[in-house]
């Protein structure tokens, strides 16, 4: 498969794009990541491929577009079966989809409630964020990864969002390592994987971006 067959319309700081790139790396696939200028002007290709949301990531497989990161990661796993990202049994897969849905519904907004706060970050926002991570610690249990002994679907869905945690910690005035050490250990374990390390940006750069974005939004 040539690189041109797999294209991702991308933005370096988007955790949703990171999910897709990690999945492709896990499968050992070559792909082209085309950066989109989300502030300056989205490309025709992006607007045509994702007319519903007009957002990144868009994954193009032989020119056929797919949107929404969780849908794309599922597709990648089903199309290139090795190594599998989801458990083999239906119940295990249902559990994985449940936790991916939980992360999507809760964690992204909880991060936003902290990094988007004007002035003092409300205590409730920090408490909510920590309680979500504790819930995820419960799901992790004693396993190395959410998927079990091997890195998989839920790990990919979650680890991408952690790319914004340094910014959240700086703005919120706390650290994940202090509040949720188990979650923090899981993060470090995942970040050692080449598929992940190649994709997750330098946390300081993400923090700089968040500060710039806050100014853009009129928060600072």
Partner 1 sequence: MERGVVLLDFWPSMFGMRTRIALAEKEIKYEYREEDLRNKSDLLLQMNPVHKKIPVLIHNGKPVCESLNQVQYIDEVWNDRAPLLPANTYKRANARFWADFVDKKIYDLGSKIWRTKGEEQEAAKKEFIDCLKLLEGELGDNHYFGGKDFGYVDVALVPFYCWFYAYEQCGNFSIEAECPKLIAWAKRCMQKESVAKSLADQEKIYEFVLHLKKVFGIE
8 Å CB contact between 203 and 166: yes
User: For partner 1, what does the binding mask look like between residues 96 and 135, x meaning CB under 8 A?
Assistant: -xx--xx--------------------------------x
Site for partner 1 contains 75 (CB under 8 A): yes
Q: Which of 42, 54, 93, 182 binds partner 1 (CB under 8 A)?
A: 93
Site size for partner 1 (CB under 8 A): 22
Q: Which stretch binds partner 1 (CB under 8 A): 31-39, 86-94, 150-158, 199-207?
A: 86-94
Q: By C-beta, is 64 or 188 nearer to partner 1?
A: 64
Q: Is the peptide bond before 189 cis (omega within 30 degrees of 0)?
A: no
Q: Which of 79, 134, 202, 204 binds partner 1 (CB under 8 A)?
A: 79
**In the complex, minimum distance from the CB of residue 84 to partner 1, in angstroms, rounded to a whole number:** 14
Cα separation of 54 and 38, whole Å? Answer: 10
**In the complex, minimum distance from the CB of residue 215 to partner 1, in angstroms, rounded to a whole number:** 29
Phi, psi of 77 (to 5 degrees): -65, -40
User: For partner 1, what does the binding mask look like between residues 29 and 58, x meaning CB under 8 A?
Assistant: -----------------------x------
Structural tokens at position 45: 């290709």
**In the complex, minimum distance from the CB of residue 75 to partner 1, in angstroms, rounded to a whole number:** 4
Structural tokens at position 132: 């979500």
CA distances from 28 to 14, 75, 149 (A): 21, 15, 20
Query: Could you tell me which of 159, 144, 141 has the C-alpha nearest to residue 23?
Result: 159
8 Å CB contact between 33 and 73: no
**In the complex, minimum distance from the CB of residue 139 to partner 1, in angstroms, rounded to a whole number:** 9
Buried b (16+ CB within 10 A) or exposed e, 131-155: ebbeebbeebeeeebbbeeebbbbb
Q: By C-beta, is 70 or 162 nearer to partner 1?
A: 70
Cα 161 to its chain centre, rounded Å, is 4
Q: Which of 1, 94, 191, 197 binds partner 1 (CB under 8 A)?
A: 94
Q: Which of 78, 202, 208, 220 binds partner 1 (CB under 8 A)?
A: 78
**In the complex, minimum distance from the CB of residue 51 to partner 1, in angstroms, rounded to a whole number:** 9
């Amino acid at each position: 498969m040539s690189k041109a067959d797999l294209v991702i319309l991308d933005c370096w700081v988007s955790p949703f794009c990171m999910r897709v790139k990690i999945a492709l790396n896990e499968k050992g696939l070559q792909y082209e990541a085309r950066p989109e200028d989300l502030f300056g002007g989205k490309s025709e290709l992006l607007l045509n491929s994702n007319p519903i949301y007009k957002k990144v990531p868009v994954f193009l497989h032989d020119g056929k577009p797919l949107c929404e990161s969780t849908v794309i990661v599922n597709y990648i796993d089903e199309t290139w079966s090795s190594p599998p990202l989801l458990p083999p049994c239906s119940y295990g897969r249902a559990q994985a989809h449940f936790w991916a849905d939980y992360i999507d519904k809760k964690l992204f907004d909880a991060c936003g409630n902290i990094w988007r706060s004007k002035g003092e970050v409300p205590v409730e926002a920090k408490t909510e964020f920590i309680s979500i991570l504790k819930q995820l610690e419960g799901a992790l249990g004693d396993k190395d990864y959410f998927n079990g002994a091997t890195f998989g679907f839920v790990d990919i869905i979650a680890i991408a969002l952690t790319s914004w945690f340094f910014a959240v910690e700086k703005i919120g005035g706390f650290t994940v390592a202090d509040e949720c050490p188990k979650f923090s250990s899981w993060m470090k374990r995942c970040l050692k994987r080449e598929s992940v390390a190649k994709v997750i940006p330098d946390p300081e750069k993400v923090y700089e971006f968040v500060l710039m974005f806050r100014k853009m939004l009129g928060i600072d």
